[in-house]
Amino acid sequence: MKAEGRGDIEDHEAKESRMRHRVLGGTGIQVSPYCLGTMMFGAVGNTDHDDCARIVHAALDEGINFVDTADMYSAGESETIVGKALKGRRDDVVLATKVHFPMGQGPNQGGNSRRWIVREVENSLRRLGTDWIDLYQVHRPDHTTDIEETLSALTDLVRQGKIRAFGCSTFPADEIVEAYHVADRRGLQRFRTEQPPYSILARGIEKQVLPVARRLGMGVLTWSPLASGFLTGRYRKGRALDLSSGRPTLNPDRFDPAAPRTAAKLDVVEQLVAVADEVGCTLPELAIAFPLAHPAVTSVIIGPRTMEHLRATLKGASVALDDAALDRIDAIVPPGTDVYPPDGAWTPPSLTTPSLRRRAAGARAAV
């Protein structure tokens, strides 16, 4: 057997240091500060299942033990890929997935009802090739379903051993608090985690969501640290934007260089590039280090599409921002502000449904 050299020992110690585990929301489950997100596995990103499996294995070899997916990612294909990749290594991984978005054409093929949750968890277990899910998350709020109904169904799944804990994703602070009190009053288990969007360009959750999560002892795993690619350095002011691959192909309007929001993002990017230069790191390294500096954040989801993306991300895993760097970022994007609304975030029905913010015509006329 080959003796372990000093260089191998130092590499191992470096991995252990940068992937020092954190407790997930008081569950006792230990997770790495980076979580491998798999939204880009499958039809919307990397269609090569073997290559995706290699990315999973490389992430695990680098010390990541936390993997996040969802039933709706590429209509279940992502879960299938993850399940195949974890064969033989399942016990070493904290596996998270999500439920909510439609998975079929019928009116009951999505949402947060007991009917759908107890059915869809079985589909996720089958696709993932596992007997249990460590963290089962409600992907978005559902105002057609009483939160007690949702919590009751999830509590039953914990008691049945099909899931170990459950959480929510992209819930506003008031609904997190409501769910907490309903669980307390009804003797149900509660949301242990929240998964919100968080980046230097989208800091809105610092106002209420992160303080509430911290006060309630919830774990927080954040998504989109690269702001849909704007913090990769790929899109720069005064340069032609490459819209032929990646996120721009999914949402081209969000990358329109003529749009004021796009211009605002590009202006901020130029200032952040200067900060990264001062720190001695790349822009994406700065971006991914930023959410981990918040004391409420447990883990940051990284979502590589290729092995190169994964390696570039992990290369900056040892970057830690000091107060001077964080002060510079605060001066560019003040705490609690959004340069743009996070892509894919939830908008409450009170804003999207006119009938919820307009009196009926007859009632208006009677005033």
Q: Residues 290, 291, 296, 299: what is their CA dihedral angle, to the nearest 10 degrees?
A: -130
Crossing angle of helices 49-61 and 77-85, rounded to 10°: 50
CA angle 98, 162, 112 (to 5 degrees): 40
Task: List strand residue ranges (DSSP E) for 292-358, in order.
Answer: 299-302
Q: Is 340 a catalytic site residue?
A: no
SS3 97: strand
Q: Which residues of 338-357 are buried (b: 16+ CB within 10 A; e: fewer)?
A: bbbebbebbeeeeeeeeeee
SS3 245: coil
3-state helix, strand, coil in the chain (%, to 5): 45, 15, 40
SS3 35: strand
Kindly give the pairing relationship between strand 30-31 and strand 22-23: antiparallel
Residues 6 or more apart whose Cβ sits within 8 Å of residue 155? 188, 189
Q: Report DSSP state, residue 306.
A: S
Number of H helices, E strands in the chain: 14, 10
Distance in angstroms between the alpha carbons of the first and the last residue of the chain? 87
* List 73, 136, 198, 235, catalytic entry: 73
Question: Read out DSSP for 123-184?
Answer: HHHHHHT-S-EEEEEE-S--TTS-HHHHHHHHHHHHHTTSEEEEEEES--HHHHHHHHHHHH
| Dihedral sign computed on CA atoms, order 77, 99, 24, 330 | positive
For residues 167 and 193, is the Cβ–Cβ distance under 8 A?
yes
**Which residues participate in catalysis according to the annotation?**
73
